[in-house]
């Protein structure tokens, strides 16, 4: 009788193991490759026991054999390994597509530049641009500076700015777009912008700044923005859809309404992504 029960139990365990093995990796782990909980401690043990010189296949085999002696989680571990392999292939496809797009954009901009047509130069902060650098957009050139948190600063042609630090810039002349609204919950520091006529204190907004010799006009598309005059004795809290002009002599105008949606459309900004 005992022998019969052992046989039945063995068949049941084998059926469970085969069932787990038959489940596709996408059904078990969806888009994330999550190691079975019962195997997590073994993963840490494997990392401690095996050095960097040990073949990856050997470590995987060790994990597979030792992940639950009864075999119940072996199918899940196999799915995990398959998921990792599939994800690596998909990640490479995405990276290759991104690299191809980048090459095509570079080629297109090079041809436009050679022909004297408008072109775009993309830069990464702390890589192509660092604190202390002055960036100037040439005629027909638009410069897009990208930050690690996803924020962007756009310099229109014939515009110039200096990065005093990673969150403080000085605008010399020209028209600038600050696209920070989409990432307002990710920005860790308050971003400040200085001009000859104003100081702007922001944390996640989208706005346009037009810097001239004696005045600075700020148009706020999304969020809120503190605009102070150059003397620092007057500050206006600007709301979306309003503009203000700060002059070099310290005077600052009252907020004036404008069509933010229209301006955003003209600039090619999708305001639905900024909310």
> pTM, whole model, 2 decimals?
0.63
CATH 2.60.120.1440 fits domain 120-273 = yes
DSSP state letters, 178-192: EE-GGGTTT--S-EE
Choose among 211, 206, 210, 244: nearest CA to 228: 244
Q: CA–CA separation, 102 vs 96, rounded Å? A: 10
pLDDT at 102: 86
Give, for all 275 residues of the chain, the pLDDT tens digit: 444 444 433 434 333 343 333 333 333 333 456 665 555 555 555 555 555 454 455 555 555 555 544 454 556 666 666 777 777 888 888 899 988 988 998 899 889 888 889 999 999 988 999 999 999 999 999 999 988 877 889 999 999 999 998 778 999 999 998 887 554 544 556 778 999 889 998 766 788 899 988 899 999 988 888 999 888 889 999 988 999 999 999 999 999 999 988 888 887 775 554 44
Structure confidence by residue, pLDDT tens digits, 75-102: 666 666 677 777 788 888 889 998 898 8
Q: Confirm if 218 and 243 have CB atoms less than 8 A apart.
A: yes
Helical (H) or strand (E) element with 153: strand 152-155
pLDDT at 26: 35
Q: CA–CA separation, 43 vs 62, rounded Å? A: 10
Q: Confirm if 230 and 193 have CB atoms less than 8 A apart.
A: no
CA distances from 180 to 108, 173, 183 (A): 27, 21, 6
* Segments of the chain assigned to CATH 2.60.120.1440: 120-273
Q: How many CB atoms lie within 10 A of CB 80?
A: 24
DSSP bridge partners of 222: 206
Structure confidence by residue, pLDDT tens digits, 202-212: 766 788 899 98
| Cβ-Cβ contacts under 8 Å for 144 (sequence gap 6 or more) | 120, 121, 122, 123, 152, 153, 154, 155
pLDDT at 271: 54
pLDDT at 150: 78
């Amino acid at each position: 009788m005992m022998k019969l029960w052992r046989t039945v139990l063995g068949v049941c365990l084998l059926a469970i193991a085969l069932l787990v093995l038959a489940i596709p990796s996408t059904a078990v782990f969806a888009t994330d490759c999550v190691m079975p909980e019962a195997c997590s401690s073994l993963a840490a043990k494997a990392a401690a026991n095996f050095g960097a010189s040990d073949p990856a296949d050997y470590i995987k085999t060790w994990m597979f054999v030792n992940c639950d002696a009864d075999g119940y989680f072996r199918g899940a571990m196999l799915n995990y390994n398959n998921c990792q392999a599939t994800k690596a292939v998909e990640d490479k496809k995405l990276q290759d597509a991104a690299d191809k797009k980048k090459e095509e954009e570079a080629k297109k901009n090079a041809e436009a530049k050679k022909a004297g047509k408008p072109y775009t130069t993309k830069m990464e902060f702390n890589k192509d641009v660092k604190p202390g650098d002055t960036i100037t957009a040439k005629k027909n050139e638009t410069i897009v500076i990208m930050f690690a948190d996803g924020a962007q600063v756009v310099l229109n042609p014939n515009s110039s700015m200096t990065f005093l630090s990673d969150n403080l810039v000085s605008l010399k002349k020209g028209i600038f777009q600050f696209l920070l609204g989409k990432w307002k919950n990710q920005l860790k520091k308050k971003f400040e912008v200085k001009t000859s006529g104003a100081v702007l204190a922001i944390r996640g907004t989208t706005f346009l700044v037009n810097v001239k010799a004696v005045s600075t006009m700020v148009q706020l598309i999304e969020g809120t923005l503190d605009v102070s005059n150059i003397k620092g004795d007057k500050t206006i809290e600007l709301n979306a859809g309003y503009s203000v002009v700060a002059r070099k002599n310290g005077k600052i105008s009252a907020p004036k309404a404008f069509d933010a949606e229209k301006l955003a459309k003209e600039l090619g900004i999708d305001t639905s992504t900024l909310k």
